[in-house]
Amino acid sequence: MIDLAVSSELEIPTPKVKPKDRVGVHGWVHYYAAFSPSFVMTIINLFKLTRYSILLDPFVGSGTTCIVAKSMGVPSIGVEFNPFAYFITRAKVGWNFDSRALEEGLILSKNASETDNEPSDDFMKWFPLGDPTVRKTLGMGRYILKEISNNDLRDFLLAALLLSLRNVARIKRGSNPVWMRVGETPPQSNHDIFGIFSEQARKMFHDQQEIRTYDQCRTEILFGDTRTLTLPEKVDAVITSPPYLNRLDYVMNYRLENDFLANLKALPALEPSRLFRKKIIGTVAVIDKSPPKDEWGKTCVEILNRIYKHTSKAAASYYYPTIMQYFKDMYECLTRMQEALKANGACIIVVQTSYFKDIEIPVSQIFSEMAQNLGFNKAFIARRENVRVHMGLLDPEQRKYAPGKTLHEDVLVLKR
């Protein structure tokens, strides 16, 4: 078993976003568990990545890794499976258009006709009955997708439209802060979707201008599932933060936007969020109930057995298969990362430890054992900090168990 030590070999700042980080492109969305730009920047420098390197983030989320890499002139590839995040990230790194093209795109989208197609129930439910905004917004979205031939401008405008939707739709937060529900009335009653959208797009363009430095630096954002990722080339390093084992649902957090994208068929075979979410890692839909595998490592198998035998309600029937699915998925992803890395390449992974009732789940230890079985030679924790606010605390049932429990956020380094 790998003896996983906390090492001070590298000086790495916190991966957590601070309020001062939320400026410019980094302020477009407050994406849960996003990286701070300084974290990515420090790692790029520490691992001496240059314009001849390639960096991979297989869970790129709101795009911090790729946007920081691009602004430092380091080529990168990002992979994301949440359609909303995919378009937002593409809008951050796609710089191949100027202000004139933007203004032309805006004028054309203004004149886009309302859609004739029947809006889907999944999208319509976010608006008051008979609200003309539904067809207007879909008409604009459809126009952007079909008629704007410059891919960077197309995805940028679509992202601006996505970021305008919450002003005109009726949404509310439930008790779970990252689960959005249909509310009573939209925040803005004048329904001027075009006005909101054009203002949003101009602001975003301004933010993009601020960081446009290495125009020609290659940055690819791919929509897809990291479990089945194959890349035509090897990468020098991976910086990433996979979904945590806390049932945070990235697709449901952006249900409105994802239902809009599904209605537009903005990506091939895109389903409404209620169906699509089942495919994302870390949510509660269990597909495969086969038993744990030895290659997941001793700690993982032991913990899963303890969870199975736990006396609490639904431990064996619900929690055990859900947690098992998480580790099965993550083993697949670590395999893909190992395959993608060059010899001597490094993976820097931010992970959070977790609890099931009173059982601590040392996720970094488990990942490092998986990595060892996959042929990584070295694993250590380059930074460890306590997590004060986490999803487990929202649930009074959970709080009852192990009241003094501390969760850690670890920066795990794996070397080939």
Alpha-carbon distance of 173 to 239, in angstroms, equals 31
Which residues, 6 or more positions from 287, have their beta carbon under 8 angstroms from its beta carbon? 278, 325
Q: Which stretch binds ligand SAM (CB under 6 A): 179-187, 220-228, 338-346, 376-384?
A: 220-228
Q: Based on the shown chain and the rule CB under 6 A, indicate whether residue 226 belongs to the binding site for ligand SAM.
A: yes
Q: Based on the shown chain and the rule CB under 6 A, indicate whether residue 220 belongs to the binding site for ligand SAM.
A: no
Alpha-carbon distance of 170 to 191, in angstroms, equals 12
Which lies closer to ligand SAM via its Cβ, residue 39 or residue 205? Answer: 39
Alpha-carbon distance of 371 to 338, in angstroms, equals 8
Residue from 2, 4, 25, 33 touching ligand SAM (CB under 6 A): that is 33
Q: Based on the shown chain and the rule CB under 6 A, indicate whether residue 221 belongs to the binding site for ligand SAM.
A: no
Q: How far is CA 131 from CA 48, 190, 199, in A?
A: 54, 11, 22
Q: Based on the shown chain and the rule CB under 6 A, indicate whether residue 303 belongs to the binding site for ligand SAM.
A: no
Which residues, 6 or more positions from 289, have their beta carbon under 8 angstroms from its beta carbon? 321
Q: Based on the shown chain and the rule CB under 6 A, indicate whether residue 241 belongs to the binding site for ligand SAM.
A: yes
Residue from 220, 225, 271, 295 touching ligand SAM (CB under 6 A): that is 225
The CA-based dihedral angle spanning residues 95, 101, 102, 103, taken in that order and rounded to the nearest 10 degrees: 160
Which lies closer to ligand SAM via its Cβ, residue 280 or residue 324? Answer: 280
Q: Which of residues 51-80 bind ligand SAM (CB under 6 A)?
A: 59, 61-62, 64, 79-80
Site size for ligand SAM, by CB under 6 A? 22
Beta bridge partners of 412: 349, 381
Which lies closer to ligand SAM via its Cβ, residue 25 or residue 381? Answer: 25
Residue from 85, 238, 341, 359 touching ligand SAM (CB under 6 A): that is 85
Q: Based on the shown chain and the rule CB under 6 A, indicate whether residue 25 belongs to the binding site for ligand SAM.
A: no
Alpha-carbon distance of 415 to 380, in angstroms, equals 9
| 3-class state of residue 207 by DSSP | helix
Which lies closer to ligand SAM via its Cβ, residue 80 or residue 122? Answer: 80
**Residue pair 64/35 in contact by the 8 Å Cβ criterion:** yes
Give min distance, CB of 40 to ligand SAM, in A.
8
Alpha-carbon distance of 217 to 74, in angstroms, equals 7
Q: Which of residues 256-295 bind ligand SAM (CB under 6 A)?
A: 280-281
Which residues, 6 or more positions from 24, have their beta carbon under 8 angstroms from its beta carbon? 207, 210, 211
Give min distance, CB of 191 to ligand SAM, in A.
30
Beta bridge partners of 411: 350, 383
Which lies closer to ligand SAM via its Cβ, residue 281 or residue 303? Answer: 281
Give min distance, CB of 273 to ligand SAM, in A.
12
Residues at the interface with ligand SAM (CB under 6 A): 31, 33-35, 59, 61-62, 64, 79-82, 85, 225-227, 241-243, 250, 280-281
